[in-house]
Structure 1
Amino acid sequence: MVNLPLLLALQETNREIEGGLFDFNATLPLMALQFLALTVILNLLFYKPVSNVLDDRDEYIRNSLTMASTSLIKANELTQKYEQELAESRKQAQDIIKKSQQEAQQIVSIKIKEAQQDAEKLVFEASQQLNIQKEQALKTLEDQVDALSDQIKLKLLNGNLL
């Protein structure tokens, strides 16, 4: 009788030798072909479309950045241009305001001179009117004084004669 556990152990060792980890039989080339086929299929179906999408995205980003920098340069140029125009406009506005103020001062001084001349004319005319009225009043008084003196004379002469 043969020892059963020993037999089983021998069979186990024979199996390990036949189906080891690195068995070089027909499965190795078949696995290599499967790996190559999977690589080609993945390359065609996944990697190339994904790389195309990534390339398109990179190109879009580059174009967008280029357009953005160009737009920024144009915006800066326009800003400088508008700032210069604004400064010139402010300067012109200040010149116009200054000229307007000078013209207004000239007009005011002319109006003041005219008002002074009118006032002097009115004062002169009023003074002439007063002189005329004074002369008339004096003449009237002289006439009244003459009339009164004639009446007094007549009364005195009439009073002496009686």
Structure 2
Amino acid sequence: MTSWLLLATADAATGAAAGASEGGLFDLDATLPLMAVQVVLLTFILNALFFRPVGRAVEEREGYIATSKADAKQKLAQAERLASDLSEQLREARQAAQGLIVQAEQESDQLYREALAAAQAESIAVREQARSLIEAEKSTALAALREDADRLGSLIVDRLLAA
């Protein structure tokens, strides 16, 4: 086909050179339509061979970019949602931990006070027991002293009367 077009062009060019003397500046013969047909044919060939595949590749790449961008936006939204959920859970966990700490401090304080009260009650009981034991020994000792004093007094009286 290319050889036919070149041959037709060559024939038209030789005919145009021979007939150049007939026309003026522009000679409208078969060369102009032949060139127009060649341009249109070349456009269809280039479009079929190069532009459509390149256009398809560009469209596929644009589609891939669009879907990747949509997926990225969706994943970003999901990540932000998860981050907000996790921060909310963290805040709740901190509040719960703070509540447990306060409760543990209160229980510890209550146990300390109960242990202190029990220790004070025990020390008071031991002190009272010791006091009562001392009082009992004191009264026993006083009774023994009175007996000894009475015996010594009667011994002194007996010796003074006997002498």
Question: What letter corresponds to residue 103 of structure 2 in structure 1?
Answer: K
Question: What letter corresponds to residue 104 of structure 1 in structure 2?
Answer: S
Alignment of 1:133-144 (within 5 A): 133-144=137-148
Cross-structure match for 1:109: 113
Alignment of 1:80-99 (within 5 A): 80-99=84-103
Cross-structure match for 1:119: 123
Taking the aligned partners of 2:148 and 2:52, their CA distance within structure 1 comes to 137
Taking the aligned partners of 1:44 and 1:126, their CA distance within structure 2 comes to 118
**Aligned length, in residue pairs:** 144
For normalisation by structure 1, the TM-score amounts to 0.71
**How much does 1:27 deviate?**
5.9
Alignment of 1:1-162 (within 5 A): 31-158=35-162, 160=163
Taking the aligned partners of 1:148 and 1:104, their CA distance within structure 2 comes to 64
**How much does 1:90 deviate?**
2.1
Change (3 A) 1:27 1:130: same
Please, which runs of 5 or more residues in structure 2 have no aligned partner?
Answer: 1-16
Cross-structure match for 2:9: none
Taking the aligned partners of 2:125 and 2:28, their CA distance within structure 1 comes to 137
Cross-structure match for 2:4: none
Q: Map Cα deviations across residues 101-160 of structure 1 (whole Å, 9 max, x no partner).
A: 2222222221121111111111101111111121122122223323333443343344x1
Question: What letter corresponds to residue 72 of structure 2 in structure 1?
Answer: A
Q: Map Cα deviations across residues 61-98 of structure 1 (whole Å, 9 max, x no partner).
A: 11111111112222222222222222222222222222
For normalisation by structure 2, the TM-score amounts to 0.70
Question: What letter corresponds to residue 96 of structure 1 in structure 2?
Answer: L
